[in-house]
Amino acid sequence: MHELSITRSVVDICMENAGGRRVCSVTIEIGALSGVAPESIRFCFDACTKGTPLENALLLIEQVAASGRCRQCNSEFPVKTCYDPCPGCGGVGMDLITGDELRVKGLTVA
Ligand SMILES: [Zn+2]
């Protein structure tokens, strides 16, 4: 399962950063277009943290809205999919600026 391995790597990153201390809370950022369902991460988190310093830690998920930049006119606009046309010029080529994030933003340790 995709989300399970993602959650495992999130837990690994947190354990490295915590250096053996007990983790109280973890904040992760999930982009709207990352393809990762926050509720699945939440579901896997309990299983992945059992017996680790992260057990019972509070999981805070921040969802990041997607935005892109048009390759033709360089304007920035909110996007719902990677294939949205530019609202300014109608161009179809754009680069994602935000929305594909999946990262540990921060954690608090005891
Ligand atoms: Zn454009």
* Cα of 66 from ligand 1 centre, angstroms: 16
Q: What is the pTM of this model?
A: 0.85
Phi, psi of 107 (to 5 degrees): -150, 155
Domain that holds residue 102: 3-109
CATH code, domain with 21: 3.30.2320.80
| pLDDT tens per residue, range 17-57 | 999 999 999 999 999 999 999 999 999 999 999 999 999 99
If one counts the domains in the chain, the total is 1
* Cα of 53 from ligand 1 centre, angstroms: 48
* Cα of 93 from ligand 1 centre, angstroms: 8
**First vs last C-alpha separation in the chain:** 31
Residue 48 CA to residue 6 CA, distance in Å, equals: 10
